[in-house]
Amino acid sequence: MHDFVALEGRGVIATFLASTEFVEAADAQARALGYRAVPSVFVPHPIQDRTDAEVRALADAALEEVLARVVDVDQARGVD
Amino acid sequence: MDLREDGLVAVVKRDCPTCRLVEPVLAGLSRTGELTVFTQDDPAFPDGVADLRDDTELSASLALDIETVPTLVRFAGGVEAGRVVGWSRAQWTELTGVADLGEGLPEHRPGCGSRTLDPDVAEQLLVRTRGGALRSRRLEISALEDEAEALFDRGFTDGLPVVAPTPARVLRMLEGTSHAPDEVVAVVPPNLAEATVEKVAVNAVLAGCRPEYLPVVLAAVEAACTDEFNAHGLLATTWGAGPAIVVNGPVRAEIGMNWAGNALGQGNRANSTIGRALQLVIRNVGGGRPREVDRAALGHPGKVGFCFAEDEEGSPFEPLAQSRGVPAGRSAVTVFAAEGPRGVADQISRRPESLARSLALGLRGVVHPKLVRGFDATLVVCPEHARVFAEAGWDRARLQAALDEYLLLDRAEITRGAGGVDEGVPAGDSDRPLAKFRPGGLLIVHAGGGAGMFSAVIGGWAGGPGGSAPVTREVDPWR
C-alpha cells in the first residue's frame, strides 16, 4: 500500500493487487495513509502453494480487472 | 514571586514542630524589618510576622527549591547569599547577624519535609510546572468510566490491562532520559508515524515500565525502526515472529533485569515491560495491529513483549553486543525477529563437538527441517551447556564455526519429495551440501539458570535484505 501511495504521488496510476486474505489489511493501511478507497484487485487465496500454472491462470483471470482499475482513473481514489 | 533584593526569607509550615519552635525567633527577626516569611499550609502562621506571604500554592517554595522547613535564606543584591535548613542557633545567628537568637530553645533541631515533597502534592506540582512540555492529545475519562476499561475500549492495549498514562506518570517517565519530549526517536511502521520521546514514554507507562527503563526502550525503538530490521515486513508477514530484544552491558544490573533462571519467561518487571513497550509503540504509534496490518497466521505469546538480558558474567563467550561492535562496558540492545523459544535438551554430551551437534539438530527444525538459508535464528545457550564449551576452551567464534559445519545439510535429504514430504529445496544440479543459515543469520546468546542442560532455539524470520536482520544500538546515548 505504501508503494501504491508512492507511485500515485509520482503521478503514476497504480492499482493495489493482493489475495483475498489481505482485504482488511489493505483497508487498514489505506485508511492510515489517508485514503478512503484505493483501486484494488483481490485474487483468490491461497497463493504460496500454487503451481506456476495455477498462478498464471490467476493472473490471466485478474488481468482484465487490473487493466480496468488502471485505465479508469475515475474509479474511487478517495483521499481524506 | 516578589522578593526583596536584600534581606531574609523564611519558608515554614504550621504542621512542622520545628517551625512552631522558631515562631518567636521569626517574630523577633521580623521586627528588624528585613524578613519575609512564606507559609506553606496555614496563611496565619507564624504569629507576629509583618511580611507574611501565603504560599499554600507552593510557587515560592518551588522557586526557592525548598526541601525542608524551616529554611532561612539570605539575599544580597538579588542573589542568594546563604541558607540554613532546620533550626541551628549558631547557623541562624551567623546568617542573620543577630546575636542571642532563640533564648530558651535547644541548640539544634532538624526540620521537616517541605510540602512540595509530599507525594500527592509533588505529582500536582510536576504537572503544573512541566506539564506544558507535553504535546500528546489529552483524553478525558468520565468519572463513571473505569480507567482500565476505558483504555481497552479505546484500543490502546495488547489485550492485557495497561497503566493509565496520566500527565504525571508520563512526566515521571520522561525523567528517565535527558532527551527533550519532542525529539523524534524513529519513524514507526506500518503507518510511518514519528515517535517522539514523549510518545515512547507514554507507551512505556502503558506497558508498566519504570523511568529507568526508558533509555532501553528508546534504544529498542530506534533499533527496530531501521530499514535493516524491517519491522514493517516482520509485522505484515503471515509468519508468526515478532521483535525480541536482548540487552547487554551495565544497564542490565542497574535496572534489575533477569538473565538467570526463567530468563525468557515471566516474573521480571524490566524484562516483561521493556519488550511490551516496544510492541505498544508499534501498535499505538505505528498503527500495527493484529488482524489489520499484522497478518500473522498464528503469532506467539511473546508478541506481547519479548525481552531478556544476556548472562555476561558467567559466559564463555564475549557479550553479544561486543561481538557486534559495541565497546566493552557499554550498554546496548540487539533486536531480532523471534518466534517463541523451543528447548533443546542434551544431558549426556560432555564433549563440545557432541553438544554442538545436538544444538545443530535443534536448530535444523527452524522454519522447516528441509528448508535452508531463508530464515534466521537465535540460539540461547544455557549455563550448563556453556560450561562444556568453557571447559573445552571454545569461544563464540569456535561454536559458531562448529554449528556452521554441522548445519551443512545433505541435499538428498532435503530435496522436495525426499522423505515423502513435498516441501523442501528445489532439486539442483549440484550435490553440494546446503548451509542451513545465511552468514550472520545465527545469533548466539548466553542466559538461563544454573541447573538444567536445556538450551533454547528461537526461530526468526526471513533474514537479510527483503527480510529482517538483527540490529544493535547503544543505550547510553538515550540516557
Provide the chain A residues 8-27 that lie in CB contact (below 8 A) with chain B: 21-22, 24-25
Selecting from A2, A22, A32 the residue whose C-beta is nearest the C-beta of B287 gives A32
Selecting from B191, B287, B295 the residue whose C-beta is nearest the C-beta of A22 gives B295
- Cβ separation of B295 and A25 shorter than 8 Å? yes
Query: Domains of chain B, with CATH numbers?
Result: 7-117 (3.40.30.10), 148-423+430-478 (no CATH)
State the pLDDT confidence band at A37, using cuts at 50, 70 and 90: confident
**CB of A29 less than 8 A from some CB of B:** yes
Q: CA dist B413 to B17, B239, B357, B377, B431, Å?
A: 85, 24, 17, 21, 11
Question: pLDDT tens digits for chain B (479 residues)?
Answer: 667 789 999 999 999 999 999 999 999 999 988 999 999 999 999 999 999 999 999 999 999 999 999 999 999 999 999 999 999 999 999 999 998 899 899 999 999 999 999 988 888 888 988 899 999 999 998 888 999 999 999 999 999 999 999 999 999 999 999 999 999 999 999 999 999 999 999 999 999 999 999 999 999 999 999 999 999 999 999 999 999 999 999 999 999 999 999 999 999 999 999 999 999 999 999 999 999 999 999 999 999 999 999 999 999 999 999 999 999 999 999 999 999 999 999 999 999 999 999 999 999 999 999 999 889 999 999 999 999 999 999 999 999 999 999 999 999 999 999 999 999 999 988 889 999 999 999 999 999 999 999 999 999 999 988 899 999 999 999 99
- Residue-wise pLDDT tens digits, B23-80: 999 999 999 889 999 999 999 999 999 999 999 999 999 999 999 999 999 999 999 9
State the pLDDT confidence band at A72, using cuts at 50, 70 and 90: confident
Task: Report the C-alpha gap between B149 and B141 in whole angstroms.
Answer: 10
Q: Which residues of A touch B190 (CB under 8 A)?
A: 2, 29, 32
- Of A74 and B104, the structure prediction assigns the larger pLDDT to B104
| Summary mean pLDDT of chain B | 95
Signed CA dihedral, B467, B243, B397, B430: sign only: negative
- The helix/strand/coil state of B248 is strand
- Residue-wise pLDDT tens digits, B218-251: 999 999 999 999 999 999 999 999 999 999 999 9
Selecting from B191, B236, B292 the residue whose C-beta is nearest the C-beta of A33 gives B191
Tell me how many residue pairs between chain A and chain B have CB atoms under 8 A apart. 24
Nearest-neighbour CA in chain A from B289: distance (Å): 9
Nearest-neighbour CA in chain B from A28: distance (Å): 6
Nearest-neighbour CA in chain B from A21: distance (Å): 9
pLDDT at A7 over 80: yes
Q: Which three cell numbers stand for residue A32?
A: 492510515
Q: Which residues of B touch A28 (CB under 8 A)?
A: 287, 289, 292-293
What pLDDT, on a 0 to 100 scale, did the predictor assign at position B384? 97
Selecting from B192, B232, B292 the residue whose C-beta is nearest the C-beta of A28 gives B292
First CA to last CA distance, chain B: 34
**CB of B190 less than 8 A from some CB of A:** yes
What pLDDT, on a 0 to 100 scale, did the predictor assign at position A74? 58
- Of B263 and A70, the structure prediction assigns the larger pLDDT to B263
Return the H-helix or E-strand segment holding A73: none
Selecting from A21, A22, A29 the residue whose C-beta is nearest the C-beta of B190 gives A29
Mutate to test the interface with A, among B187, B191, B289 (most CBs of A within 10 A): B191
- Interior CA angle at B219 toward B213 and B224, to 5°? 125
Mutate to test the interface with B, among A2, A29, A48 (most CBs of B within 10 A): A29
Q: Which residues of B touch A24 (CB under 8 A)?
A: 291-292
- Cβ separation of B292 and A25 shorter than 8 Å? yes
Neighbours of B425 (CB within 10 A): 19
pTM: 0.85
- Interior CA angle at B269 toward B265 and B271, to 5°? 50
Nearest to B86 by CA among B117, B118, B104, B112: B112
**CB of A50 less than 8 A from some CB of B:** no
**CB of B295 less than 8 A from some CB of A:** yes
**ipTM of model over 0.85:** no
Nearest to B189 by CA among B468, B442, B465, B440: B468
Q: Which residues of A touch B289 (CB under 8 A)?
A: 28
Q: Which residues of B touch A42 (CB under 8 A)?
A: none
Q: Which residues of A touch B295 (CB under 8 A)?
A: 21-22, 25
Nearest to B335 by CA among B247, B397, B463: B247
Task: Report the C-alpha gap between B272 and B307 in whole angstroms.
Answer: 7
Q: Which residues of A touch B236 (CB under 8 A)?
A: 25
Phi/psi of residue B434, each to 5°? -115, 135
pLDDT at A77 over 70: no
Nearest-neighbour CA in chain B from A36: distance (Å): 15
Task: Please give the residue of chain B at the shortest CA–CA distance from A5.
Answer: B191
**CB of A2 less than 8 A from some CB of B:** yes
Q: Which residues of A touch B466 (CB under 8 A)?
A: none
Nearest-neighbour CA in chain B from A53: distance (Å): 17
What pLDDT, on a 0 to 100 scale, did the predictor assign at position A76? 52
> Phi-psi bin for B135: left (phi > 0), alpha (psi -120 to 50), beta?
alpha
Mutate to test the interface with A, among B293, B371, B416, B421 (most CBs of A within 10 A): B293
Least confident of A26-40, A50-64, B35-49, B384-398: A26-40
Which residues, in sequence order, are bridge partners of residue B408? Answer: B435
Q: Which residues of B touch A5 (CB under 8 A)?
A: none
